[in-house]
Amino acid sequence: MAAAPPSYCFVAFPPCSKDGLVVFGKNSARPRDEVQEVVYFAAAEHEPGSKVECTYIEIEQVPRTHAVVLSRPSWLWGAEMGANEHGVCVANEAVVTREPASESEALLGMDLVRLGLERGATAKEALDVIVALLEEHGQGGNYYEDGSSCHTFQSAFLIVDRNEAWILETSGKYWAAEKITEGVKCICNQLSLTTKIDAEHPELRNYVKSQGWWNGDSDFNFSEVFSLADDHLACCSGRESLEKQGGDVSAQAMIDVLRDKDSGVCVDSESFLTTASIVSVLPQDPSFPCIHYFTGTPDPSRSIFKPFIFVDDVKLVPKVQSPSFGNDDPAKKIPRFQEKPDRRHELYKAHEWARSLLENDQDKGQKLMRIMLDLEKQGLEAMEDILSRTEILDPAEVVDLFYDCVDTELKFFK
């Protein structure tokens, strides 16, 4: 059975985090050559009876979808991670359980990330959306753009809003979830729920009894029941780094953890690379805006985090969007993935050049990296200023924010 890619997701709540902020982060580990894009979809009204085409299957659309910003592998419909206009963030992890994941095409865990964001105005609403769709449509299909082999996984999710987070872990249509309102939590490519379960599939315990995985006499431990061997052991060294911050977990502290290669949180292996990252800052005071930082490029230790804030008429950023191939896309043709088109967007190509410079000309590479990190620092400080103001944010001030940051980054590369 294939190993799940070693992604990491984190959330920190006050009092572990600074200034009454909830801080969320994820490193998305995927096949090394996969391109992630950052895409924005405005809120929309939909006709009764309309459908939405997900990565592999079509499902019923809802009357209204929320505005979302997503970091996603550019060949699929869903997302590895993202946020919506209501301050909900969702990230997904591929996990392996004792129940083999289905090769039959259904919803991918990444489709469920986007669907939860588009349809849920709170973390709990997003969870309810995801589990209802899981019950109705199931999960399955190839997780990678690979025509030679079908890579299938079950899904885990970290779902966060300004007030609470939910860890949701699934196997087939069965699931369990834990509510979090304090401290620091991390999820990775192994199951982590144990006996503290705050919501679950109504037939979960009967199902595992019928499979002979649990006798009903001992405490029900989700990870022990569903994991292969000792796969459910603690997997996340990054959590310790955040806990050491005391009450000072900030956007910068989360970025530092995501950049840490020594701990394994920043993945750079023969098979997998951290192909994109996100950090979100969610003020518990709803009068302040949520701020979402995206890299849009691989390896956060060599990328910069650029801020995005939801406002009406936010400016789209084609330079972090991959080319569209429409119905000619090999991901949409049957059989799928018979060829791999060039999905690199403009920022990805420029970043490739910068990575090459870092590897081949240390002096010039380090100088460029210092300039880029200074640019990132200016962005972080400007966002801290927004969160410390007493007056309401003028949307005109940030409508071009992400666009301008990407544009400035490209200018430095050129």
In terms of C-beta density within 10 A (0-12 exposed, 13-18 middle, 19 or more buried), how is residue 320 classed? buried
Residue 126 — left, alpha, or beta (φ > 0 → left; ψ -120 to 50 → alpha)? alpha
Residue 405 designated active-site: no
Q: Which 3 state secondary structure label does DSSP give 413?
A: helix
| Nearest partner of 131 among 199, 77, 180, judged by Cα | 199
Report residue 212 as tokens. 């002979």
The total of other beta-carbon atoms located within 10 Å of residue 175's CB is 25
| Nearest partner of 39 among 3, 1, 76, judged by Cα | 76
List the catalytic residue out of 9, 89, 150, 188: 9
| Nearest partner of 55 among 330, 332, 328, judged by Cα | 332
Q: At what angle do helices 123-137 and 109-119 cross, to 10 degrees?
A: 130
Q: What is the DSSP letter of 100?
A: P
Residue 332 bridge partners (DSSP) = none
- Active-site residue list: 9
